[in-house]
Structure 1
Amino acid sequence: MEENLPLIIQLLSGAVGGNIAGRLFKNLDLGTVGNSISGILGGGIGGWVLGLIGLGEAGTGLSAILGSIAGGGIGGAVIMAIVGALKKAFVK
């Protein structure tokens, strides 16, 4: 379970980041469920990318937790904005 903790943090942070981005960018908002789902996806991708570049190293320290939160939140916000923009472009 301990090895899965960073992933869980990234996914939850992604959901929060997606919802915050949805509230900030009302024209890209997908609704709470849509923001959460795209945020969870973005959180996983953000954590994966951070791991690839060496910033998401496995660990138990505060820096590992903060890195997981930041990567998940930012990734969630970015993916939610991308999905929202694509939806807006195709719905027109």
Structure 2
Amino acid sequence: MSETLINLIIQLFAGAAGGSGVAKANKNFDLGPIANAIVGALGGAGGGSILTSLVPALAGAAGNGGFDIAVFAGQLVGGGVSGAIVTAIVGLIRNALVQKQRA
């Protein structure tokens, strides 16, 4: 499997975990369990990809073929944090719109 695909998978899972975690921590961000995971995964993939392009060392050594724990940790943290941030933003916007409709 190519390193890019592996990095994307790590970012997706980390983003889903980050999105679910931030929603559990603060109910103002909660979109529901499935939506938290989906929005977090998308945020993790997007944010992780941006982070990889800004910090090329996180992409890994091309052709190395080995496992690099620093690259794995960087993708995991980047995807998790990005997923949490995107879920929080989307949750705040959605809940503000729901509150506005009720008023």
TM-score over 0.5 (shorter chain):
yes
Q: Secondary structure at the match of 2:70?
A: helix
Aligned counterparts of 1:6 and 1:67: Cα–Cα separation in 2 = 10
Aligned counterparts of 1:89 and 1:35: Cα–Cα separation in 2 = 16
What aligned pairs does 1:1-92 form with structure 2 within 5 A after superposition?
A: 1-3=1-3, 4-54=5-55, 57-59=58-60, 60-92=67-99
What percent of counterpart residues are identical? 42
Cα pair 1:56 1:67 within 8 Å, conserved: no
Deviation at 1:52, TM superposition (A): 2.4
Structure whose CA Rg is larger: 2
Q: Secondary structure at the match of 2:58?
A: coil
Deviation at 1:2, TM superposition (A): 2.9
Distance 1:15 1:79, change over 3 A: same
Aligned counterparts of 1:31 and 1:56: Cα–Cα separation in 2 = 35
Cα pair 2:58 2:75 within 8 Å, conserved: no
Equivalent position amino acid for 2:42 in 1: L
Deviations 1:39-65 (A, max 9, x none): 011101111121121156322411100
TM-score normalised according to structure 2 size: 0.83
Aligned counterparts of 2:52 and 2:81: Cα–Cα separation in 1 = 14
TM-score normalised according to structure 1 size: 0.92
Q: Which runs of 5+ in 2 are unaligned?
A: 61-66
Stretches of 4+ moved more than 6 A in 1?
none
